């Protein structure tokens, strides 16, 4: 899990990505509003690193992950993979793109077809992309099962015969089948028992070191994010409000929302927590977000200017790295 060189061209480059969902109502089902799930997001992911997207439920991080894999089409924006704009891909272009970027889903049970054996589940991508003959595909499935810590003898079993942790290992094996360059992991630990989470985390780290692929890791668990990540983006109500290296985010957080998330995360010794300032209020509706900074209704440091304009992502300053950016007009004061 080594960070790539800062001067290297990015593997994934998102510029102004937007995903809006229409809200329809009335007798003629006319569009009355839009849900701004992802609202102008820009970031770069370097080859070989783990880039994490963090935020509360409803912030748009999972929707963004689905847009990256192109399970959802972006409403607007540019999405470059290896320097090529993929946002308008369709047909064979999209088919080839999906062989290079795969996804690990949050629920390891619902993401597996209950009517297929796990051997068929893992072999299906190879069949779809016509990679190898039947025997070669079966050998590849056996190899993948060994890599994720399962026995090839399990190939004829069905998903319901496995535990949650084993099912997530099957999902990881399926994601690896096409030897992708990038894997989007959408909350891959949240449905697992705490006792199993550490095993899956260590497996993910080991596989990345062995195969040299890139992760976009989506999570709300800051302890896991701190352990896994090279760089991190904090999302709030469809926008990135802070981004930087792991050290920037956890040692020098600049945005009040980031500070509140870190202060609210569990720590082994409660005496080390200090005075926790909980986030007040509820997340605003993505149908009607607040004017100006979307976080200002819940922010302890908000002033009148926070309500007037959306703050841009700008250098956080202090002792931060050059890539540490925060969208807060008071970031140098708090």
pLDDT for 267: 66
pLDDT for 296: 93
pLDDT band at 38 (very low <50, low <70, confident <90, very high): very high
CA angle (207 as vertex; 89, 215 as ends), nearest 5: 40
Q: What phi and psi values does residue 322 have, to the nearest 5 degrees? A: -60, -25
Share of the chain above pLDDT 90, in %: 74
pTM of the model: 0.91
Residue 132 vs residue 8, higher pLDDT: 132
pLDDT for 273: 55
pLDDT for 117: 97
Q: What phi and psi values does residue 258 have, to the nearest 5 degrees? A: -60, -45
Q: How many CA atoms lie within 13 A of 232 on its CB side?
A: 26
Average pLDDT over residues 180-192: 93
Burial class (CB in 10 A: 0-12, 13-18, 19+), 88: exposed
Hey, is 173 helix, strand or coil?
helix
């Amino acid at each position: 899990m080594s960070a790539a060189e800062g001067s290297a061209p990015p593997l994934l480059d998102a510029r102004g990505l937007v995903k809006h969902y229409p809200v329809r109502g009335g007798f003629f089902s006319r569009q009355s509003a839009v849900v701004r799930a992802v609202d102008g997001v820009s970031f770069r992911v370097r080859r070989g690193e783990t880039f994490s997207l963090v935020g509360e439920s409803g912030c748009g991080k999972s929707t963004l992950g689905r847009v990256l894999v192109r399970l959802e089409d972006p409403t607007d924006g540019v999405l470059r993979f290896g320097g090529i704009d993929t946002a308008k891909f369709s047909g064979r272009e999209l088919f080839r793109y999906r062989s290079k970027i795969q996804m690990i889903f949050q629920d390891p049970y619902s993401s597996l077809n209950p009517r297929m054996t796990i051997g068929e589940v893992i072999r299906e991508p190879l069949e779809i992309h016509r990679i190898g003959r039947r025997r070669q595909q079966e050998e590849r499935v056996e190899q993948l099962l060994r890599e994720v810590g399962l026995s090839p003898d399990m190939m004829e079993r069905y998903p319901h015969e496995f535990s949650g942790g084993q099912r997530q290992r099957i999902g990881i094996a399926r994601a690896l089948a096409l030897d992708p360059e990038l894997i989007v992991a959408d909350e891959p630990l949240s449905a697992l028992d705490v006792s199993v989470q550490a095993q899956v985390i260590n497996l993910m780290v080991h596989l990345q070191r062995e195969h040299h692929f890139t992760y976009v890791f989506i999570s709300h668990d800051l302890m896991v994010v701190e352990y896994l990540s090279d760089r991190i983006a904090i999302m709030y109500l469809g926008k990135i409000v802070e981004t930087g290296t792991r050290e920037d985010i956890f040692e020098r957080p600049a945005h009040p929302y980031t500070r509140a998330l870190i202060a609210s995360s569990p720590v082994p010794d409660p005496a080390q927590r200090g005075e926790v300032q909980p986030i007040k209020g509820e997340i605003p509706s993505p149908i009607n977000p607040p004017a100006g900074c979307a976080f200002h209704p819940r922010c302890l440091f908000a002033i009148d200017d926070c309500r007037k304009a959306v703050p841009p992502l700008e250098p956080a300053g202090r002792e931060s790295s050059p890539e540490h950016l925060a969208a807060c007009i008071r970031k140098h004061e708090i």
